Amino acid sequence: MDLSRPLGPPLPVADLDDRQRLALLCRMLRREGYDDHLAGHVTALQPDRTLLVNPFGIPWDEVRASDVVRIDLEGNVVEGEYAVNPGVRLHLALHEARSDVHWALHNHSRWGTIWADVHRAPPAYDQSSVYCGEIAVVDEYAGTVNDPGSARGAVEKLKDANVALLANHGVLVLGPDVPQLLVRAVSLEWRCRNAWHVETLGGGVPVRPEVAKPLADALSVAGFPGLWEAMVRSELRADPAVLD
């Protein structure tokens, strides 16, 4: 396969900023099942150690770049019009503890939350399910993560995992950049959904570890070439105002 050729048409906007990337990611993931009403937050670490985050009261399919709020690592709004979900304390603790994490998302996705409720990581039964890599199960639930102590406890139990099911709660996905975060989040929800269907049929045969690990490792280094750009084009066709 000749990857020296373009993978698709160029993006209509040549240089997206992080506010635009964050708004686009929210729109994309809403379509992928990250759609628990006003729940959930995405953060993007900035060079000055502040965070960009989606506002609390705007559903993910309505977020625009101009709605994105900037906060400090204490959770104080330093730029933006809207309030922030108090549950963002989970992200504050995460960015304090993990220097490798630049983008993070938490939500109560449809299928991921089912597996979180049973405290079990779903097997990878197909190729697209392996791309998220290893899934940690973090039994952190002692109430909401609005409490700083609960948030720090969850991060401590997460250790160095990049994809996690938060027991009785939802999912947490981390990445060094937004394309990597996207592929992990999409693959996680795909895996959770397909595993439920396979096991409802009576069970299946998971992808062998010696096959799954090289695929996951390759995606962790290079991402999924062209996926982010393709999904950006799709969102811009649906609503160009997402970049406003």
CA distance 16 to 32: 22
2 domain-assigned = no
Average pLDDT over residues 207-212: 90
Number of domains in the chain: 1
CA distance 192 to 184: 12
Dihedral sign, Cα of residue 169, residue 195, residue 173, residue 42: negative
Average pLDDT over residues 212-232: 83
10 domain-assigned = no
Please give the residue range of the domain that contains residue 93.
18-237
100 domain-assigned = yes
User: Has residue 1 got a pLDDT over 60?
Assistant: no
- The enclosing domain of 24 has a CATH number of 3.40.225.10
Residue 165 forms beta bridges with which residues?
A: 137, 171
User: Has residue 8 got a pLDDT over 60?
Assistant: yes
Q: Which residue has the higher pLDDT, 39 or 160?
A: 39
User: Has residue 144 got a pLDDT over 70?
Assistant: no
Strand, coil or helix: what is 89? helix
Give the lowest-confidence range in 48-57, 65-74, 135-144, 229-238: 135-144
Q: Which residue has the higher pLDDT, 106 or 140?
A: 106
Q: Which residue has the higher pLDDT, 119 or 218?
A: 119
101 domain-assigned = yes
Percent of the chain at pLDDT above 70? 93
Closest CA to 216 of 188, 194, 192: 188
Burial (0-12, 13-18, 19+ Cβ within 10 Å), 44? buried
What would the pLDDT profile of 194-203 be if each residue is shown by its tens digit? 999 999 999 8
Average pLDDT over residues 219-231: 82
Q: What is the DSSP letter of 242?
A: G
Average pLDDT over residues 145-161: 75
pLDDT score recorded for residue 148: 67
3 domain-assigned = no
6 domain-assigned = no
What would the pLDDT profile of 20-53 be if each residue is shown by its tens digit? 999 999 999 999 999 999 999 999 999 999 999 9
Average pLDDT over residues 180-206: 96
Q: Tell me which amino acid residue 231 is.
A: M
Contact between 83 and 48 (Cβ < 8 Å): no
Average pLDDT over residues 180-191: 96
114 domain-assigned = yes
pLDDT score recorded for residue 128: 94
DSSP letters for 91-141 = HHHHHHH-TT-SEEEEE--HHHHHHHHTT-PPP--SGGGSTT---EEE---
Average pLDDT over residues 133-140: 90
CA distance 234 to 223: 19
pLDDT score recorded for residue 221: 64
- 107-134 per-residue burial string, b: 16 or more CB within 10 A, e: under 16: bbbebbbbbbeeeebbbbbeebbbbbbe
Length of the chain measured in residues: 244
The confidence band for 219, taking pLDDT boundaries of 50, 70 and 90, is confident
pLDDT score recorded for residue 19: 98
Number of CB atoms found within 10 A of residue 15's CB? 6
190 domain-assigned = yes
pTM for this structure?
Answer: 0.92
Q: What is the DSSP letter of 12?
A: S
